[in-house]
Chain A
Amino acid sequence: MRRKDDLGHSWTNGGVERAVIRIVRRLSPGFARKRITKKTRLHQDLGWDDYYPLRVVKPIRATLHEELEDRAVLELKTVGDLVACVWNAMEAPA
């Protein structure tokens, strides 16, 4: 199944996952890509503090063309939660 971002670009769930993992990896220096999966915990595994998750908002807007709410981002626990958050924000086919 494919969904559309706010600019009308078509995405698969796997494509969203790969894009999100690239963003998370750029924000987590030193972590190998293979160490970052949907199960990776933002706070416990990557060491992000209370406010650091807000850094994903801008690159997700630029890459995946979705506007995430700050409070929703602050409540995320895993990379998988972030993937789901972006995926759910995309427009599902009618």
Chain B
Amino acid sequence: MRSAAAVCVLVALAATAAAAQQPNALGHWELLVGHSYSSARALMQPATFTLEKVEGSPLYSVLDVGALVRGSIAARSWIETGLRARAGSARPESQRLYGAMARVYRELDPVLVAVGGEYQADGGFDVHSLDATAELTPLGGLPGLGTWVSPAVHLRWRPWIGAAMGDGVQPYVRLSADWVQGRLEAGVEETAWLVSGSGRSYVKGDVSVQLLGGVFVTASGELGRSPPTWVHTGRIGLGLGFRLAPGD
């Protein structure tokens, strides 16, 4: 319960701080819904309700969804605050994930810098972490970085380098790539951390076919260890995806 309260406080503080910076900010805020709020691919990947197969376990149903609210705080800066949940009717508590974050971006062309705080917990709130994060990505400048490689090759990628500071300092790098062809979308995201001197990595991918508007049929998978539990997971799933974002 205390952890859940911390989540609410974090989000409320972020929203309040943003609103205080810009009195008429409510008119400039936007809501986005997708698979995750926290990564470079957050708004590309549809939120999903899937049936999945986990290594050594029976078939599970999984709801994986994130919501993000964005607003301005200055000409060159903006703030995002969000919630995410990975749950499901038959999913073990240890493999559920809840999180909240607030992050401020500062554009310093040719790079974009983001600093923020993130809270993550497992389903029972037995394992949780509260980290400060700082990360950076180049806005562009290399073939395919942030934009399609060419008019004929609809492939793009984006790297991030950062560090999470909570229980020690955990540097990480993240690389994501997207491919879009008509109604077909595919993407992969790999994150690698250095935790207490040893490397840990986590990769997730998805292939989606757009049915109508923001509704997709999505096949997704993941493999590796991710915070806060760092428990090894491997799964594949198939289900419905949905995405709510400007332009959809």
List residues of chain A with CB under 8 Å of any chain B CB.
Answer: 27-31, 35, 41, 43-44, 46-52, 54-55, 57-58, 67, 69-72, 74-75, 77
Supposing A70-B107, A71-B28 touch, asked if A47 and B154 sit within 8 A by C-beta, the answer is yes
Q: Do residues A51 and B75 form an inter-chain contact, with CB atoms below 8 A?
A: no
B48 to chain A, nearest CB (A): 19
Q: Can you name the residue of chain B whose Cβ is closest to the Cβ of A48? A: B147
Q: Do residues A52 and B78 form an inter-chain contact, with CB atoms below 8 A?
A: no
Interface residue? B163 (CB, 8 A): no
Q: Do residues B180 and A70 form an inter-chain contact, with CB atoms below 8 A?
A: no
A15 to chain B, nearest CB (A): 24
A60 to chain B, nearest CB (A): 11
Number of A-B contacts (CB under 8 A): 75
Q: Do residues A47 and B180 form an inter-chain contact, with CB atoms below 8 A?
A: yes
A41 CA to B75 CA, complexed, in Å: 23
Which 4 pairs across A and B sit closest by C-beta, in order of nearness? A47-B148, A52-B146, A71-B72, A30-B150
Supposing A47-B156, A57-B109 touch, asked if A52 and B247 sit within 8 A by C-beta, the answer is no
SS of A interface (majority): loop
A–B complex contacts, Cβ < 8 Å, 18 sampled: A29-B143, A29-B150, A30-B151, A44-B247, A49-B158, A50-B40, A51-B139, A51-B158, A54-B109, A54-B139, A55-B109, A69-B75, A70-B75, A70-B77, A70-B78, A71-B70, A71-B78, A74-B78
B57 to chain A, nearest CB (A): 34
Supposing A57-B109, A70-B77, A70-B107 touch, asked if A49 and B146 sit within 8 A by C-beta, the answer is yes
Q: Do residues A58 and B109 form an inter-chain contact, with CB atoms below 8 A?
A: yes
Interface residue? B112 (CB, 8 A): yes
Q: Can you name the residue of chain B whose Cβ is closest to the Cβ of A47? A: B148
Supposing A43-B247, A77-B247 touch, asked if A49 and B30 sit within 8 A by C-beta, the answer is no
CB contacts (< 8 Å) of A58 on chain B: these are 109
> Which of A44, A71, A72 counts the most B-chain CB atoms under 10 A from its CB?
A71
CB contacts (< 8 Å) of B149 on chain A: these are 30
